[in-house]
Amino acid sequence: MLEFKDVSFKYDIDDYYMLKNLSFHINKGEFVSVIGPSGCGKSTIFRLICKLLERESGQILVDNQSIDQRKGYCGYMPQKDLLFPWRTVGENLKLPMQIQKTFTKEQMTEKVKSTLEKVGLSGLENKKPSELSGGMRQRAAFARTLLTGSDLLLLDEPFSALDFLTRISMQEWLLEQWEREHKTVLFITHDVEEALFLSGRVLVIEDLPIKKLVSFDVPCGYPRTRESLTKSEMLSLREQLIKMLRREANLI
Ligand code: ADP
Ligand code: MG
């Protein structure tokens, strides 16, 4: 579904590389988390996938085709500035379709309505984002990401600003959405427990520049509950991952 082949990248103002000959791949339908301490380049990887940044060399493929000259191959939910505050929820959700220009007004209204229903926000299309709770705003932003119609979803620390209880409900909710929608999800987090709860595989950024992502299979099937996290295999992987991250945080 997604493949990096020897991708290198550096920011213009830096004299060091963020990514150096990075290769990895994600299979169709997988839920994969990328973890690493703050500032290690997680969001940079996402910005390269959705072409907000341009790589220096290497290839990025989605469905075996280069992303160059393509549009609409991924839905990106950024870390912050999720919804435009001056637009209603409905107008925010229409945005990806307005950009694509492939739907009539009536089709857009219908799609917004049915997607809001799916994410449990029926009837809220005329509210402003400021009138919603933090968890509801995240769901609305996720709904907008779904409305890009892409099979590849890039979610950048979507729950990091939420309080603990809202966050764990949103994690359960996201797994339900993923199981129903059959999308491929690449999920960034710095929270090891969140990565373990959600993903089939965890990719760890271990060194800088990023030359490889170390892949760990999560030793637990789906569906999952919070109790899955207390299995001894999960606990020992959690400790192993925390150790790796702490070592790396000391290097940054
Ligand atoms: P993460 O998402 O893992 O916290 P980022 O990918 O956002 O990290 O950033 C990685 C590094 O690149 C950080 O040190 C950050 O300061 C730097 N960085 C981010 N954006 C820019 C930019 N536009 N220009 C220069 N450096 C940047
Ligand atoms: Mg980030």
Instruction: Say what the pLDDT of residue 80 is.
Output: 73
Half-sphere exposure of 13 (CA within 13 A, CB side): 0
Which ligand is in closest contact with the Cα of 79?
A: 2
Residue-level pLDDT at 88 = 95
Residue 195: the pLDDT is 97
Which whole number is the average pLDDT over 172-187?
Answer: 90
CA of 190 to the centre of ligand 1 (A): 15
Looking at residue 241, its pLDDT comes to: 95
Q: Is the pLDDT of residue 252 over 70?
A: no
| Nearest Cα to Cα of residue 55 among 24, 27, 20 | 20
What is the pLDDT at residue 170?
86
Quote the ligand 1 centre to 10 CA distance (angstroms).
Answer: 10
pLDDT tens track for 45-58 = 999 999 999 999 99
Q: Kindly list the protein residues whose Cβ atom lies closer than 6 A to any atom of ligand 1.
A: 11, 13, 18, 36, 38-44
Question: Does residue 216 contact residue 47 with C-beta atoms inside 8 Å?
Answer: no
**CA geometry: angle 190, 195, 200, nearest 5 deg:** 145
- Tell me the CA–centroid distance for residue 123 and ligand 1, in Å: 38
Query: Which atom of ligand 1 is closest in space to residue 156's alpha carbon?
Result: 2
Q: What is the pLDDT of residues 101-128, one digit of tens each?
A: 888 999 999 999 999 988 889 999 999 9
Ligand at shortest distance from the CA of 80 = 2
Please give the Cα distance from 41 to 48 (Å, whole number).
11
H or E segment and range at residue 174: helix 164-181
Average of per-residue pLDDT across 118-139: 90
| Proportion of the chain above pLDDT 90, given as a percent | 65
